[in-house]
Structure 1
């Protein structure tokens, strides 16, 4: 057995040892099922059922032991599947908080559900209410009251925002089951969940973000639409009375379903028009329910159903649910102000020249010059600027906010707020530790690259560790290679054409267009502040070239002005383009980077960034699933883009590493962020090119 399999088995055994109470309960229920044959025939048909089953008739007959004895039996064989599965909540609760807590929640929840249900039905049965009288005469067995209490307690342990989402799903499930089916067990489940909700107080909707308020409305509207479909297709028998499938409500059903499909996504995006339509829809359903209720009181249910050609039960139950929805929509009305043309940031929106002025004045990180590239939009904050791209409903911020370091946290908060108000998913790509510390504490982070930094002061290529770089420089001298630091626009037409030919050949070999976002092209290299490093053969041919982006340190922190750079306060340079001619000088990249490093060091620059290699992070041994996923993806993409090979190449220059992160709200955003990143990096790629790249991945995997 492999070490991974052994470790997995050990973790499973450790987890099992931490859940003795749950396993004991499951075992007792299975033993009772075998001894009294409930596993293969209906227990409710046996003579023992009336002796051990709990309910109001059992208490009236003096069978006080039934809340305990009824716990270990199941009424139908197929129900065992759901009963055993429902103990997952108790298992999770026991694993997190221990056996005593889990047993306390289980038995308090079970006993409260049974006793409170009996007491409630005793009072309701005094009214002329057929449903209450029917359930007051019913008996039940099973552990579901306790298991539902444990599930509710387990939900309270979830981290935000999943806690609120899980609570809403759980509450929606028990309320819908109660309103439309309303059996004795459904009432017990509802009361058990409400007990834990009251005791734990872990559901705090008033503290949710704008995004969560929209998501709650989105899910609720979809649930209401699904309820209407189910009640049209499935018979129900809840507190409002029985319904038959396909029995009525077709007009309401058709209108509501069509409108729900139109407005649900709008609510998720926070659109004002969808909130207005949802408000009208809720009001219509509530008004319909009230009119039906009034008509029943004045006339009779049969007469009303004959007049509306439908069943009053659906109108009453739906009206109640839509009333809750109406109250919620009014309560969180401020979350629905987004319009399709909503802009992010303060107006007027800044432009590229504003960004460059801010970089010169306040400096930036190693990727900050990329914010000046075409394709970026800019959000102005109180004291800074955030560069971002709007892709697939995502506001994809590039690197870190620009501006004074002291205002970083305020800029982050402002950008997140404005993006959410505009109905967009906010995230930061290739952000540093300072930005990671500035996002809300509930946000997640994912390592996307390691920035490779070479410190330039005192740099000397001496010693054994620099053998490969020193050898490439010496070989270049023997073969009369020439190094030139220049600007693209300063080069003659013939050299520029060679550079374009080399780039086009490189792109043609990939099967995909040149990547964008954090990877530039010759278009970006035309900027007069970007420098170009050329390796020229003795015959004048360009064997390779690099482009270097300025890293500004701010006017007050100038590390020296680079000759001919035209930029003040440049403290370093970031590597962008790396291109070589096929069949040219072998170690051309080592030669170019080494020569550039020597020149930058002589000019007084502080750092040289070799940029980050995506999907090439060195994860610690305990990094877990994220590391495994990143490694698998890196292996798949290696034949196409060679990210790992590039990372290994950069190690020749012995850099230090600074981690770059993808910062996002939670895991539910990752699918949309993944689509946004794909389009940001490959905005011009066609489906045919993606398919071709997929074939290349397959070939690489076979190799």
Structure 2
């Protein structure tokens, strides 16, 4: 065991840490020059070390950087994915580097936002980052709850907590649905057709902090396929980091048997358990308490009914997804929105909501477009 740990430290951990250092600090420069704090998506694509740095991140969801839309904000020993709204500059999730460096990150984020005439904000950050933001004088609001489980304890889904899930899995099995992890070469024509069917029936896709289907993008993820009679009918993709997988895309064709998507996630849980991954996230659900407060506040505002209906629609519509995720008996972890003041918080929230529900067109290039293996991510490297 000691020799195995030593091997992993030398051949996996050290290269990943070096790549993160290069990504955060940039290549060596003349001492008189200072590297830019904010790297655009195109600069990230040209720079070294993106894949290994993402693989070492505490939040696998930072893999959204591979979508080619967001930049990277560097602040001393840490960095964060940042997205632009119409009026805001938003750091997504938690920093890639040490959590203790959050105060410095907030300062640099505020400076960069001021340069662009935007409001700074944090979106979907965890409790520790939120606490440090509150300590720095920012206004913090609990907006969502990430649904997290330990695959090592959940695999098999025994016990009463998983009764409804087991029923779904049996239904899919009776209908001849099988699940497998995709190999290094994905069936992209079939997956593209499935994504197109999904988009026609349920789209358009949301964006900003949520992944959108792109062949290059999914090539760097863990992908699980559902088949019936040998034909792909659905797939699910996961961001992969060393200590966490996070559910990203779920796409299916019309008429898939009941329980198909549950079977896909169950297959991913089993695979993560085999690899010893300690944490698998089913992504976030809206915080009901906050949604109710916002709904009550909207009712008091003199807004046109059409706008109120649209805003309420953005808050709701998650009950089916909630039932889907709760069937896996996850543990909820609070996620927060933060900004320097209440007014900035409200404006940033509206700006982010607009970016999620009406996302801009994606750039044509994926910073990690050559796929998982050439991005420093390889199977079994936990």
TM class, shorter-length: 0.7 to 0.9
- Distance in 1, matches of 2:168 and 2:179, equals 12
* Maintained 8 Å contact 1:532/1:546: yes
Residues in 2 aligned to 1:645 and 1:466: alpha-carbon distance in whole angstroms = 17
Asked which structure has the greater RCO (Cα within 8 Å, sep 6+), the reply is 2
Deviation at 1:486, TM superposition (A): 1.4
Kept after mapping to 2: 8 A contact 1:534/1:545:
yes
Separation (CA, whole Å) in 2 of partners of 1:490 and 1:573: 20
Asked if 1:666 corresponds to 2:336, the answer is no
Partner of 1:504: 196
2 CA distance for matches of 1:371 and 1:599? 24
List per-residue Cα deviations over 1:60-114 (Å, max 9, x = no partner): xxxxxxxxxxxxxxxxxxxxxxxxxxxxxxxxxxxxxxxxxxxxxxxxxxxxxxx
Cα deviation for residue 502 of structure 1 reads: 2.3
Q: Which moved more, 1:498-507 or 1:473-482?
A: 473-482
Given candidates 170, 190, 215, the residue that maps to 1:474 is 170
Cα distance in 1 between the residues matched to 2:353 and 2:164: 36
The alignment partner of 1:571 has SS state of: coil
Q: In 2 relative to 1, CA 589–346 (structure 1 residues): closer, same or farther, beyond 3 Å?
A: closer
Kept in 2: contact 1:346–1:381 (CA 8 A): no
Q: Confirm whether residue 435 of structure 1 aligns to residue 129 of structure 2.
A: yes
For residues 97 and 244 of structure 2, what CA distance do their matches in structure 1 show? Answer: 18
Matches within 5 A, 1:342-361: 345=37, 351-352=44-45, 353-361=48-56
Q: Does structure 1 residue 394 correspond to structure 2 residue 94? A: no
Which structure has greater strand proportion?
2
- Secondary structure in 2 aligned to 1:516? coil
CA contact (8 A) 1:359 1:403 kept: no
User: Structure 1's 525 and 579: CA in aligned 2 closer, same or farther, altered over 3 A?
Assistant: farther
Q: Which residue of 1 aligns with 2:150?
A: 455
Equivalent residues of 1:518, 1:681 under 8 A apart: no
Inter-partner Cα distance in structure 1 for 2:256 and 2:39:
51
Higher share in helix: 1
Within the candidate set 237, 243, 257, 1:547 is matched to: 237
- What is the alpha-carbon distance in structure 1 between the residues aligned to residue 328 and residue 112 of structure 2? 42
TM-score by length of 1: 0.41
User: 1:404 and 2:98 equivalent?
Assistant: yes
1:576 aligned residue: 248
Structure 1, unmatched stretches of 5+, are 1-342, 553-569, 686-703
Match of 1:465 in 2: 161
Q: Please give the per-residue CA displacement for 1:364-386, whole angstroms capped at 9, x wherever unaligned.
A: 21422223321102222111222
TM-score of the aligned structures, taking structure 2 as reference length: 0.72
Q: How does 1:225-236 map to 2 (within 5 A)?
A: none
Shift of 1:673: 4.7
Taking the aligned partners of 2:347 and 2:84, their CA distance within structure 1 comes to 15
Residue correspondences, number: 313
Q: Is the 8 A contact 2:58 2:244 kept in 1?
A: no
Equivalent positions of 1:149-168 (< 5 A) are none
Partners of 2:121 and 2:348 within 8 A in 1: no
Aligned counterpart, 2:228? 537
Give the Cα–Cα distance (whole angstroms) in 2 for the partners of residues 594 and 357 of structure 1. Answer: 27
Tell me, in whole angstroms, the C-alpha distance in 2 between the residues paired with 1:521 and 1:654.
26
- CA deviations on 1:505-557 (whole Å, 9 max, x unpaired) are 222234x531111221221764543011111002x22222101111x3xxxxx
Question: Equivalent residue for 1:445?
Answer: 140
The residue correspondences of 1:302-451 to structure 2 (distance < 5 A) are 345=37, 351-352=44-45, 353-361=48-56, 363-439=57-133, 441-451=136-146
- Cα deviation for residue 681 of structure 1 reads 4.6
Provide the alpha-carbon RMSD of the alignment. Answer: 3.1
- How far the C-alpha of 1:674 sits from its partner, in A, is 1.4
**What do the CA deviations read for 1:105-134 (whole angstroms, capped 9, x no partner)?**
xxxxxxxxxxxxxxxxxxxxxxxxxxxxxx
